[in-house]
Each structure stands twice: as C-alpha cells, then as structure tokens.
Structure 1
Amino acid sequence: MRIQLQHTYYYPQIGGIESRLYYTSKTLLEMGHEPTILCSRHLSTLPEKETYNGIKIIRYPMYRFPKLSVLSQLYFEKMLQGFIRRNSKGTEAVWTNHPYCAYASCKALPKIANIYFQPTIWTNFRAITGKELKGIRRMRFRIRNLFDYYLEKKSMEMCDKVITFSEERMREIVDFNKLIKGKIEVVRTGVDLERFKVRGRDKDLLKELNIPENANIILTVCRLALEKNVGMLINAFTKINCSNCHLVVVGDGPERAHLEQLVKRLNMEKKVRFTGFRRDTERFYSISDVFVLPSENECFGLVYLEAMASGVPCIGLKSDYPNVIVGTEELIKDGYNGYCVNPYSTDDLTEKIEKIVLNEELRCRMGQEARQICEREYRWKRHVEALIKITECIRKRK
C-alpha cells in the first residue's frame, strides 16, 4: 500500500512524533509497503525531495502571508491543499499527525482513506504553553488559537478515523469534539527494542557526568517546559534519604534556567546534572536506577517505553482528569514495573523513589517486568499491523 505520512516536521528535526514517523515508516518498508513522508521545509537548506534511510521525503514550503496572523494561516492552509493535491499521485492512504495537514488532506484527497493521529488536543496543549505570553503577543496568540481550534475540530469531523495512544486521551478527544467513540480508536505505539535494551552501566558516561560508579541515579528525559513539572521532581529529590543519590535531567527547553535556579536555591548543584539535549539517550538509561516523568499533561510518554525496554523501573503521576491528563496508569502497572503517584504530593513521589532506589531486589524485579511488557505489547510491527487493518477497512468503505 502507498501511504503518505504527514507532519509539520521530520528529519533532521528530532522529537517524539518525528521518532514515531521514522519507526512507522521503517516498519512499513520491512512489511513491503511504500511510505512517503510529507513535511515542511522548515530550514531553507533542506531539499524539496530526498530519501533518508530508504524513506522518501517530500517537503512543502513554509507558506507565509506577512504580519496578519489569521490571514497567514488561511493562506498557508490554501497553499498546503494545493501542494498535497499535486504531490499525492498514486497515494492510497494518508496518515496525518497535525491539524493543518489533516484539514488540507481531507479537502485535497477526499476519496482516499484519511486517518488523523491525535496524541493530544493541539489547541489545549498550545494554551498551556502560551500562558506566560503578555500584551499584543497574548492577543495574537488567542486569535490564532481560535482559528486552530476551528481547524482541529473540523479535521476530526472530516477524517475517516481518529487514532490516539491512550484511553485517557480518547476521553479528552470525545469531550472536546463530542465525537462518537466508534470514530476514535486507541492503538498502542511501539519502541525500538534493539536500541533500548538492558545493558551494562556506561562508565564513560558516568565519568563525563562526574558521578561515582556506585551512585544511585534518578533519571528524567523530557523537554524542559511547564507541563513536564520537573520542579516537582527536584523538590522530591531534596527529601530523599540517600546520600549517594544523583539526579540527571536530560533535555532542554524554556524552563531550564528556572530549574537551574531552583537547584541552586536548594543548594543541590553537586547532586543534580543538567545535560541539555542528547541524542544518545540509551546510554543514560543504562546508568539509571529509576526513571521519573512527573508530567501533568503528556501526549503518550514514549520515554517511559524507552526506559522500560532498557529494564528501568518507572514512576509517573496518576491521572486526575481534566487537571492532570496522562496515560501513565496504562503504561505503568503500579507495584510491578514502577509506581503511579499522587499528582499533588511531593512526599508520595519521594517515598516511591526511595522504595526503588534503596531496594536492589525490587529494582531488578521491576526492571525485568518492564522489559517483558515491552517485548509483549510494544513492538513496532504490532502497532503498524493494527493501523494497516484499520486503513484497509476504511478503503473498503470508500
């Protein structure tokens, strides 16, 4: 089947959606299908067309209509529809990952199967990230978000199927658009079991971080933004009754400076390491005793799967819809491969970290269980096979 996978960004951009597109396309190729990535030419140095690791990439220009934000969005959407129509000859299905692409595809290619992957409500998520804007920037943001709100709702109504990755996200989508549940389906994503696997501690990395080889290491890997709630982890870390514990924070983002100041105020500079963005995250899982992601709003949490596949117990927050929207309890089986903690209790987080860090037998058992869950439930082939089955059902109806 010739399938076009769409998003605003792809290689060389790195992120959760970009990673999922790569592994999905790679698996499609292995299964004999013909995937093509359609994304933006967000850097002027990028070619309009290229092949990366056997995957064809087509990039659309960053269409812009100066100054007037809403007019810019309307212009962009119209031009994108034309680009998709011209560059989709022979395409049998579209798997799209962004409301702009979804709307444009439904308009440009109404006779083929259009599946919209909805890891989160885009406008709700952007509202969280735009909270700190002020003045004219805040006003422009609100106007733009109203347009995006309309586009997102219409995209979900027009597409043939909405795919999300957790039951909690499905609940949010149904509430947002009053869609019938039959139009939405949960399909679990996958993880690279070869890259992320149980391995010996990376002594060179420990040396680079200036951390003793016998240290107990708490790890988080995420974009340093408000919704990731890393401040809660730092505050919990200060209360841990373990003199040999170190916290490693992998990632970058707008909250980094604030978090570094928090560490300084708490006089924990010698115990906390900020590494910035790293591509070699598998090395960090190899040195960690427990992985913690205290996000209050998480699309899925692919990093949980990476940690689990690496044999590392995980800790995350329990969901408290609609204030805390996470799929943690669908990934972490409380007490088996990690813990789900009270989202409003730093003490509960501290207690659960201590339980794992100070009990080697428990840590090993949880790590083994985590790896086994990934091997059973989170293979990329299983994910893609489910998507192909859904796509074929839609094509029969078209």
Structure 2
Amino acid sequence: MTLKDKKLCICIPALKAGGSERVAAELANYALSLGVEVHIILMSDQEVFYKLNTNVQLHIPKFKKGNKLVYYLRVIWFIRKRLKENKLVHVFSLGYRLIPVLASIGMKIDHSGSHRTSINRGWKPFKLSGVKRNIFDYFYRTASNYSKMHTKKMIYQTPEAMEHYQKSYPNADAVVLPNFLREIKLYNTDRQKVVLCIGRLSPEKGQIYLVEAFSKVNYHDWKLIFVGDGPARNQLEKRVEELGLTSSIIFEGFKENVDEYMQASEIFVLPSLHEGFPNALLEAMANGLACISFSSNYGSCELIDHGVNGYLVETMNVDELAKQIENLINDSNTRTKFQKNATEVLDKYSLDKIGKAYLHFILN
C-alpha cells in the first residue's frame, strides 16, 4: 500500500514533554516525509515542546479552561469542525480517546487508538464525590463504551496489554507495536562513574526506591544523577539530605540534552512502578548503558533479557535493587556486556521499521 497522498490526523491532549507526545511528533514528521498529509489536533492550548516540520498542520484550541465539562464540550466541537473542514477520515488518538470519537458522531471516521500506559492505570478527569460522582460515572461509562464500539483499530505496546484490553474493543483490529526510537544525538564525551535516572519526578515513577537502594551501595565514589523534574522533587531532596548523600545524589532538573547525560553515564535505572513501553529505557539502551528496571513494567520485560542485556528486579525490592546496582558497579565485564548487547535495540526499534508499521496499520 502506498502512503503518498493519504491523510493522517493525530489527536492528543498536548505536545508537552512526554512519551506519548514524543511518539506523536516523531510519527507526524516521519509520515510527512513519506508524502502523507498530516494534521495534529490538540485538546489544550499548551506550549509545544517537540519540533514539528512546518508542513505539519497543527490545530490548537484557543479558548481558556474554565468549567471542565464546558471546556471538554467545546473541545469536542473544535475537533469536529477540524475533521469536517479538512475532510479527515483516519484519526489516530493518543490519550483521551473517547473525545475524538464523540466529536465524530454521525461522520464516517476510521478511528485508531493506542494504549500508552500500564494496565494498572486509568483516566479520572474530574474530582467528584457522592451523587455527582455517580452521575458522572454513568455518563462516562456510556460514552466510553460508545468510544470502544466505534474504535476500528487498536495498537498495544506489549502482548500483555493486548491480552488485557482487547476484549474491550470488540470491533477493533489489533496489533502489538512497541515504541520506536527517536534519533540519537552523538556527543564527544567519556563515561563517568554515574548511575542515571531520567524521567518525571513523581510517586508512580518510583525514584524514592532508587534513592533508598543507592544509599545501601558501598561505592560512593559513584554518583546517582536524576534528570527531570516534578511534584516529588522536594520529597526526594529531603530524603537525600536525611541520608547525608547530597554530594552523591544530584538533581539536575529538566534537560533537553538527555543523550549527552546518557553517553556520560555507565548505568541506567528505571524504578517506575508501572509503565507501558518506557521510552527512557529504550533510549538508554540505544545509548549503550547497562540497564536495570523493575519487573512489573511489561515494556521493560520486552526490552530486557535478564542477565543478557540488563537486570530485572522485583518491583519495590530495595535490597535487590541495591544488590544489582552494586553488581554492575563492581563487575566491569558484566557492565560492558550489557552495554554492548543493549545497543541491538537501535535496529530492532528503528523509526523506519516501527513507524512504517504504525502508518500502514492506521491508514490501511
């Protein structure tokens, strides 16, 4: 099937820094390079973090948030108008999938979606209680069921996610497609004695377990560096101060040059309690780091072959995490083996392979 002259519409809440947002931007730019006319419809007016080709047609709602219900109704109408004006029939939704489906009631739209989170997570957009919560839950379930019935195609990041969710989409074709790698930027830097963790600092990302584990490691000529920011930063910094490790555990904040940090480190740890298919881990492996991840993340289990290209650790097991970090610090041969084997992801998860599979599935 030729992709040239096809039209692709990507619907996503925003294009801020994040995994789904990165996938949307990369897929849009790649599709455009293959001759596809690409539209991205956002559901909020937020700063666009990712660089888009100037020929990607970006649609941003320019109205202020007020009452959430009224706001989402306006977003639904905004999306509907853009679909009609641009004669868009292939819609790929990344997040808040029911909104584009509701926006296209009565229209002939081929809706595709993708589960981007762990099977343990769900969306709760309103903080309500009592009768209001019951009323909202009823209408939300009704709208959600309608959305699922009218979704034609679903992309799952792991076989486990597909097994868990597929029955909820009775009319949808399904396929397992992992995330694809972005372009890796090369820096002229030497690896240092650094254990690296990159991501949003928030409770579900599990950085507190990494802090506790690192405090048990006996090689404190090594540093633990966190790249990223978020609501858990103050709590993490306070705990580091209590442990007396402010010179060994460093918080760099948000950085754009993450590849430089990766190429200047030896070990990468993903302590998330739940992930879909973790971009940070994939990129760390592409950058040749020896990686450790909690085993509850299905995406991590797809990427890491325990003992071959990394270690999988029981989730929230601080002692085991500390042991495996210390193993890699102490055993340079294993560390080097993991680093070498990890880079095999460069070919397996390339944009040309995975991105093209995305487009053929969505636009077929």
Aligned residue in 2 for 1:164: 156
Which of 125, 129, 137 aligns to 1:139? It is 129
Q: Is the 8 A contact 2:196 2:226 kept in 1?
A: yes
Give yes or no for the alignment of 1:58 onto 2:59. Answer: yes
Aligned residue in 2 for 1:117: 114
- Alpha-carbon offset, residue 35 of structure 1: 1.6
Q: Is the 8 A contact 2:272 2:294 kept in 1?
A: yes
- Alpha-carbon offset, residue 380 of structure 1: 0.9
Aligned residue in 1 for 2:12: 7
Provide the C-alpha distance between the structure 1 equivalents of 2:69 and 2:118, rounded to a whole number of angstroms.
Answer: 20
1:238-280 CA-partner distances (Å, limit 9, x unpaired) = 0112131110011111111111111111111110111111111
Alpha-carbon spacing, 1:277–1:227, altered in 2? closer, same or farther (3 Å): same
Q: Is the 8 A contact 2:7 2:38 kept in 1?
A: yes
Alpha-carbon spacing, 1:366–1:149, altered in 2? closer, same or farther (3 Å): farther
Provide the C-alpha distance between the structure 1 equivalents of 2:103 and 2:119, rounded to a whole number of angstroms.
Answer: 17
Give yes or no for the alignment of 1:37 onto 2:14. Answer: no
Q: Is the 8 A contact 1:37 1:57 kept in 2?
A: yes
- Alpha-carbon offset, residue 72 of structure 1: 4.7
Q: Which moved more, 1:238-247 or 1:33-42?
A: 33-42
Q: Is the 8 A contact 1:123 1:148 kept in 2?
A: no
Provide the C-alpha distance between the structure 2 equivalents of 1:353 and 1:181, rounded to a whole number of angstroms.
Answer: 46
Give yes or no for the alignment of 1:295 onto 2:266. Answer: no
Provide the C-alpha distance between the structure 2 equivalents of 1:224 and 1:331, rounded to a whole number of angstroms.
Answer: 22
Which of 305, 327, 332 aligns to 2:282? It is 305
Percentage of matched positions with identical amino acids: 22
SS at match of 1:327: helix
Provide the C-alpha distance between the structure 2 equivalents of 1:392 and 1:52, rounded to a whole number of angstroms.
Answer: 20
Letter paired with 1:261: K
Provide the C-alpha distance between the structure 2 equivalents of 1:108 and 1:307, rounded to a whole number of angstroms.
Answer: 45
Provide the C-alpha distance between the structure 2 equivalents of 1:295 and 1:126, rounded to a whole number of angstroms.
Answer: 18
SS at match of 1:60: coil
Q: Is the 8 A contact 1:106 1:155 kept in 2?
A: no
Q: Is the 8 A contact 1:291 1:313 kept in 2?
A: yes
Aligned residue in 1 for 2:326: 354
Q: Is the 8 A contact 1:82 1:108 kept in 2?
A: no
1:158-194 CA-partner distances (Å, limit 9, x unpaired) = 11011121223224424xx644597332112211244
Alpha-carbon spacing, 1:390–1:273, altered in 2? closer, same or farther (3 Å): same
TM-score, with structure 1 as normaliser: 0.79
Letter paired with 1:96: S
SS at match of 2:105: helix
Q: Which moved more, 1:277-286 or 1:375-384?
A: 375-384
- Alpha-carbon offset, residue 81 of structure 1: 4.6
TM-score, with structure 2 as normaliser: 0.86
Alpha-carbon spacing, 1:236–1:250, altered in 2? closer, same or farther (3 Å): same
Which of 237, 241, 256 aligns to 1:264? It is 241
Give yes or no for the alignment of 1:188 onto 2:193. Answer: no
1:302-324 CA-partner distances (Å, limit 9, x unpaired) = 011110110112111112xxxxx
- Which of the pair is proportionally richer in helix? 1
Give yes or no for the alignment of 1:20 onto 2:23. Answer: yes
Letter paired with 1:388: L
Aligned residue in 2 for 1:76: 74
Alpha-carbon spacing, 1:78–1:26, altered in 2? closer, same or farther (3 Å): closer
Which of 185, 195, 217 aligns to 2:194? It is 217
Aligned residue in 2 for 1:201: 189
Provide the C-alpha distance between the structure 1 equivalents of 2:352 and 2:77, rounded to a whole number of angstroms.
Answer: 35
Letter paired with 1:345: N
Provide the C-alpha distance between the structure 1 equivalents of 2:263 and 2:215, rounded to a whole number of angstroms.
Answer: 23
Letter paired with 1:55: V
Alpha-carbon spacing, 1:281–1:389, altered in 2? closer, same or farther (3 Å): same
- Alpha-carbon offset, residue 122 of structure 1: 9.6
Q: Is the 8 A contact 1:102 1:159 kept in 2?
A: no
Alpha-carbon spacing, 1:221–1:80, altered in 2? closer, same or farther (3 Å): same
Alpha-carbon spacing, 1:78–1:345, altered in 2? closer, same or farther (3 Å): closer
Cα RMSD after superposing both structures:
3.0
Which of 197, 222, 229 aligns to 2:206? It is 229
1:102-144 CA-partner distances (Å, limit 9, x unpaired) = 32354264x23211122137993446x99xxxxxx56399579
1:6-64 CA-partner distances (Å, limit 9, x unpaired) = 11112xx2221121111111211222222221114514x99xxx974432212233475
Provide the C-alpha distance between the structure 2 equivalents of 1:123 and 1:145, rounded to a whole number of angstroms.
Answer: 21
Provide the C-alpha distance between the structure 2 equivalents of 1:279 and 1:391, rounded to a whole number of angstroms.
Answer: 30
Aligned residue in 1 for 2:3: none
SS at match of 2:31: helix
Q: Is the 8 A contact 1:190 1:378 kept in 2?
A: yes
Provide the C-alpha distance between the structure 1 equivalents of 2:308 and 2:118, rounded to a whole number of angstroms.
Answer: 30
Provide the C-alpha distance between the structure 2 equivalents of 1:287 and 1:101, rounded to a whole number of angstroms.
Answer: 42
1:338-387 CA-partner distances (Å, limit 9, x unpaired) = 11101141111111111222222221221111111x12310112122212
Aligned residue in 2 for 1:103: 101
